[in-house]
Amino acid sequence: MRKTLILLMCSFFALTQVMAQNRTVTGTITDSKGNPVEKASVTVKGSSVGTSSNTAGIFSITVSETAKILIVSSVDMVTQEVPITGNILNIVLKDKGGNLQEVVVTGYGATRKRRDEAGAITTISAAQLENKPNISVDKGLQGQAAGVLVQANNGIPGGAINVRIRGAGSLNAGNSPLYIVDGIQLNNRDDAGFTQSNPLAFLNPDDIQSLDVIKDAASAAIYGSNAANGVVIITTKKGRPGKTKFSLNAYNGQATILKKLETTNSQQYYQLRLEATSNASSLPINTLSSKRTVLTELRVPGASGFTDNQADSAAAALKTYDWQDAVFRTGNIKNYELSASGGNEKTTFRVSANITKQSTTITKADFNRAGLRADLTNKATDKLTIGTSISLSTFNQNTPFAVSGSFLGNPAFSAAGIIPAFPIYNPDGSYYGVPGTAIANLGGTLNQNIVQVNDYNSGFNRTNQLVGNFNLDYKINSWLTFKAFTGLDYRLVQGKIVRDARTADGFNFKGNVFVQSNWNTNINTYGTLNFIKTIGDKHKIDSRVGYEYRQENNAGITANGQGFPTFQFTSLQNAATPVAVGEFFSGFRRNAVFGDLNYNYDSKYIIGVVGRYDGSSRFGSGNQYGLFYGVKGAWNIDRENFLANSKTISALRLRLSYGSTGNDQIGNFDALGLFGGGGIYNGGAGIAYSQLANPNLKWETTTLSNIGIDLGLFNSRANITAEVYNKQTKDVLINLPLQSTTGFTSIAYNVGKTENRGIEMELKGDIIQAKRTGGFNWNANFNFAYNAQKVKALYGGNQILPGDPTIRVGEPISIAFTQRYAGVNPATGRAMWLDTLGNLTYSVLPKDRVVIGPTLLAPYYGGLSNTFTYKGVSLNVLFNYEYGRYTSDGQINFLRESSGRINFLTDIYQNRWTAPGQLTSVPRQNLATEAKSTGSAGGSRTFFKADYIRLRNLEIAYNFPTEAISKLKLSNARFYVQGTNLWTYSDWFSYDIEFVGVATGIIPQTRNITVGLQVGF
């Protein structure tokens, strides 16, 4: 719309001058992101006639009839020769250094051109985040930013995402970055008691203009104690002066399962169980009594009196029921957004609304959000600008019986494990094996009819969230500004779980209902005095001092009731027995003074220092305050004369930084010695010594040195950013294990040092550049990160943490430390192990544990994004990868047991040991653990490499031609089809490799296909 306006204006100019001898050419100059380029010089080739663009990028030049070509140039831009094809020209200048013209956000409302920034900051633009079916923006970062490892915990829509910037330094304190949305420091708590929710789930990713990841400590040090894990600054879209623009965006799609597990059918299960039963009693496999026992377990009528033949034909006649098919469904994805933005020179605004509904492949997990946003900025006077940004959001997450864990009623856990001979429904269509009927359960350990459990049970968490700020800028004079800011992040999370009276977990209680209500008030306010002055032509100084205060109060109530009149009643009001009530309160306080000073000489030499003195209520009374600081510098080498005219090197920068930041992400009262609730007994309430005081508890401090190089080649056709960092964390916060004979199992403590060192590389290139507009373009962006993490020191000279041998000097922080599985003894079919000396044994001890490898953080990770455009069509392909970590999949571990208490993976059937001499790694089946044996359920047998490459996102989009849509009074229209997780390179054999922690019973990731339309008018 705005462009149209400008065009109209330009046409008007053109018309008024058409009578003149010379003609007038007008136009707008923008950068590749559509931002106006001011002070660009426009000259006529072969003459001295010239002008420059204004702040809106608009120029007007009078040229002779014969003039053919304009030369357009600007600092840091690739000079362009533009044929004069008409009276109105739209010129797009390419950034010489790739993205050096882009604005980076550096904290507390400050921005700076990348050209003038010395830190390591990665900016993700709206285009990289938009329209992807992600509930929260963190998921959209996967593979997009070098050095930012993004791992989804599971596939719960709106569930937790682990974001780790440059590894992780802490042993027990949080390793999540600080998230700031429009200046508001979010709390990163998850208060959803019955499912998982993500602190960023309130915000529609399509409302985000840019996301800046601050990776180096000197840049992050302005946030001091909160910033040891990096800072993610999210800036939402704002209005611009001009006619009100509307944007409507809708996408719809489906989510399907990535994989079904291959499990044994009833005959295969029967065979394995038969072997297990006979082996447990040292009987030949085909002993009739074993057959009878197994068939009786499988509820074959009269099995206990069967003859051999009867038993065999009964086994052959067993039906197989596919519980996975019964549980998995196709999920739906729906998203609708409408925004309006505009304003005038005094006031700008943007309002937006969105509705998002996503359901996943497991009933009833879903996510339903309605959100409203309003941004308003008003220039009250020449000096005073006020603004506000408010986001109101409500999202409801329905939840299945459980979202993780080996609960019998958890559909994601049990679907593959229920013994397949048990039907889902009775012949009359009613549920088979449910309480209160003749057959009250299924056989085997997974004895709940999960289809019934999931149909009848209900549960949800609903989050109502307000995130808003009020900000004020007062220009005291041309070089001094006072900024005041107050932000509020208010959250009310309510939830309810109903264990229906007809289901196994509610039957004996006549219904069991839990409710929770949790409210969290997080206020953060600061004031800064900002100084910006250019002295002479070349000396630019900017500086600020500020004060900040942040507080968070978290409180909640819970209640549980049992004994409902009928299953239709689920309100606690109707409960006969109020079982339990709970209430809690927690909170923290922080305050700080901070300041920085930056000096820039002619955009050639840049230096900055920063300091922050920061206090947190979480630490011991004498150690609440810490000092954090940073210094950084950059040398824009390309500004030196010797490179000024280089044809090869279009940009070259060297950046150095060193700084310190803190981490206080521990429990709010971890430093205190406390007596808390000690249970109840005999009608009285007890108190128990719950926590030992550590008055010396203090900050964990991280120092990070960073060297970065930005290189642009061939007029920025290829751009490389490389960073090397060394991140040292000391006074690491840990729940230090104590001898439990002290009466305590651990104490919050500062111990030792950890190290994360790594390199990051970002390569961007226009592999194929179209000769003319609309031609074929291929643009690729590859990022790579390597992070080596290790524990450097503990305390008292210990090489292994007393009480926790998985924490070892020289090793990464989270490691698989376990015994080595050595396969199956071909003679006996029994699982073998290696002891410390490397000898084969049936039984291993804790002393035989060895380090297998890192389990949490992949040392190698990154992504590759390719964009192809031709005319109005674009194709975007994004891959991400992880390499080098190990993990264990609890879901699979259950399905690989040797006893048949639940169903098996087909792999176990195919590879189990059955005859002497057979070489295999799957031991013989046995109900019992083999005598004097460690068994085969643990150790290195359960750890596998978790490497993968995933086609994270594929989008085909078509931008309708302007001429066509202008008839419909539209300014732009875009149609797109997207696929998420379409392809994965991984030999992971469970539902999916993408999870953090144990995968037992988690809701897996899904494959999503969405179709969308975006129109502007």
Partner 1 sequence: MNKNIFKIFSCCFFAFAIMSCKKQLEIAPRQSIDAATALNSKDAVEASITAIYARFKSARLYGRDLIAVAEALSDNGVATNKSGRLLPEAQNNQGATFTTAIWTSGYGGINQINLTLEAIPKLAGVTSVEADRWQGQLLFLRALSYFEMMKAYAYIPGAVVTAQDRGGVPVITKGIQTADFALTFLPSRPPIDDVYKQIVDDFTLANAKLLNTATGVATSLASKAAAQAMLARVNLYTKNYSEAKRWADSCITLVGSRLSTTGSYVAGWRAEHHPEALFQIRFATATENIGVNESLQTSYSTLVTPGNTTATGGFGDLVPSITLLNDLGIALTGGMTIANFSLPASIATRTTDVRNLVFEPGTSGRGNAKVECTKFLGRSGVINLDNVPVIRIAEVYLIRAEVQATAGSSVLNLTNALADLKAIKSRRYTDYTGSAQEIADNAAPQPVLFDEIFRQRRIELAFEGQRFFDFKRLGRDLVKAPHYNTVAFTDTRILAPILQGDVDGNPNLKQNLGY
Site for partner 1 in 562-601 (CB under 8 A): 562, 577, 579-580, 583-591
d(CA 155, CA 163) in angstroms, rounded, equals 15
CA 671 to chain centre: 30
The smaller minimum CB distance to partner 1, of residues 624 and 650, is found at 624
Tokens 């309480």 found at: 435
> How many residues interact with partner 1 (rule CB under 8 A)?
103
The smaller minimum CB distance to partner 1, of residues 59 and 407, is found at 407
- Of 46-54, 381-389, 763-771, 874-882, which segment contacts partner 1 by CB under 8 A? 381-389
State the binding string over 269-308 for partner 1 (x if CB under 8 A, else -): --------------------x--xx--xx-x----x----
d(CA 387, CA 392) in angstroms, rounded, equals 17
The smaller minimum CB distance to partner 1, of residues 845 and 964, is found at 845
Q: What DSSP string runs through 258-296? A: S----B--HHHHHHHHHHHHHHHTT--TT-HHHHHHHHH
d(CA 389, CA 470) in angstroms, rounded, equals 7
State the binding string over 489-518 for partner 1 (x if CB under 8 A, else -): ---------------xx--x----------
Q: How far is the CB of 522 from partner 1 (least distance, A)?
A: 13
- Of 61-69, 114-122, 440-448, 986-994, which segment contacts partner 1 by CB under 8 A? 440-448
Q: How far is the CB of 678 from partner 1 (least distance, A)?
A: 3
- Using CB under 8 A as the binding rule, whether residue 367 contacts partner 1 is answered as no
**Among residues 19, 644, 685, 915, which is the contact residue for partner 1, using CB under 8 A?**
685
Please state, in angstroms and as integers, the Cα–Cα distance from residue 440 to each residue in 423, 435, 562, 870, following that order.
13, 4, 21, 63
d(CA 671, CA 673) in angstroms, rounded, equals 7
- Of 244-252, 672-680, 818-826, 863-871, which segment contacts partner 1 by CB under 8 A? 672-680
- Using CB under 8 A as the binding rule, whether residue 127 contacts partner 1 is answered as no
- Using CB under 8 A as the binding rule, whether residue 549 contacts partner 1 is answered as yes
Q: Strands, E, within 478-568: which ranges?
A: 480-499, 512-535, 539-562
Residue type for position 215: K
Please state, in angstroms and as integers, the Cα–Cα distance from residue 972 to each residue in 27, 528, 836, 1017, following that order.
20, 40, 68, 7
| Backbone CA torsion sign across 986, 992, 996, 997 | negative
**Among residues 91, 165, 416, 672, which is the contact residue for partner 1, using CB under 8 A?**
672
Q: How far is the CB of 836 from partner 1 (least distance, A)?
A: 15
Q: How far is the CB of 617 from partner 1 (least distance, A)?
A: 4
- Whether residue 809 contacts residue 800, with contact meaning beta carbons closer than 8 Å, is answered with yes
Reduced to 3 states (helix: H, G, I; strand: E, B; else coil), residue 668 is coil
d(CA 274, CA 315) in angstroms, rounded, equals 11
DSSP state of 77: B
610-629 residues in contact with partner 1 (CB under 8 A) are 615-617, 624
State the binding string over 802-841 for partner 1 (x if CB under 8 A, else -): xxxx------------------------------------
**Among residues 75, 873, 931, 968, which is the contact residue for partner 1, using CB under 8 A?**
931
The smaller minimum CB distance to partner 1, of residues 474 and 479, is found at 474
Which residues face 581 on adjacent strands?
559
The smaller minimum CB distance to partner 1, of residues 684 and 917, is found at 684
State the binding string over 446-485 for partner 1 (x if CB under 8 A, else -): -x------------------------x-x-------x-x-
d(CA 610, CA 628) in angstroms, rounded, equals 8
In the sheet with 208-214, reading across from the earlier edge strand, the strands are 121-125, 208-214, 231-236, 178-181, 184-185
d(CA 721, CA 96) in angstroms, rounded, equals 14
**Among residues 378, 558, 841, 843, which is the contact residue for partner 1, using CB under 8 A?**
843
- Of 79-87, 375-383, 727-735, 851-859, which segment contacts partner 1 by CB under 8 A? 375-383
Q: How far is the CB of 975 from partner 1 (least distance, A)?
A: 48
Q: How far is the CB of 829 from partner 1 (least distance, A)?
A: 17
Q: How far is the CB of 638 from partner 1 (least distance, A)?
A: 42
Q: How far is the CB of 989 from partner 1 (least distance, A)?
A: 24
The smaller minimum CB distance to partner 1, of residues 468 and 765, is found at 468
d(CA 270, CA 787) in angstroms, rounded, equals 48
- Using CB under 8 A as the binding rule, whether residue 749 contacts partner 1 is answered as yes
Reduced to 3 states (helix: H, G, I; strand: E, B; else coil), residue 386 is strand
The smaller minimum CB distance to partner 1, of residues 185 and 1006, is found at 185
| Backbone CA torsion sign across 414, 417, 419, 423 | positive
What number of CA atoms fall less than 13 Å from residue 85's CA on the CB side? Answer: 6
- Using CB under 8 A as the binding rule, whether residue 405 contacts partner 1 is answered as no
Q: How far is the CB of 211 from partner 1 (least distance, A)?
A: 29
- Using CB under 8 A as the binding rule, whether residue 547 contacts partner 1 is answered as yes
Q: How far is the CB of 740 from partner 1 (least distance, A)?
A: 5
Which residues face 660 on adjacent strands?
703
- Of 125-133, 339-347, 395-403, 690-698, which segment contacts partner 1 by CB under 8 A? 690-698
The smaller minimum CB distance to partner 1, of residues 592 and 957, is found at 592
- Whether residue 59 contacts residue 42, with contact meaning beta carbons closer than 8 Å, is answered with yes
In the sheet with 58-63, reading across from the earlier edge strand, the strands are 58-63, 23-31, 88-93
Tokens 């001009």 found at: 242
The smaller minimum CB distance to partner 1, of residues 771 and 932, is found at 932
d(CA 659, CA 215) in angstroms, rounded, equals 11
728-747 residues in contact with partner 1 (CB under 8 A) are 736-745, 747
Please state, in angstroms and as integers, the Cα–Cα distance from residue 786 to each residue in 108, 194, 220, 722, following that order.
30, 36, 21, 12
The smaller minimum CB distance to partner 1, of residues 35 and 696, is found at 696
- Using CB under 8 A as the binding rule, whether residue 441 contacts partner 1 is answered as yes
Which residues face 583 on adjacent strands?
557
- Whether residue 218 contacts residue 723, with contact meaning beta carbons closer than 8 Å, is answered with no
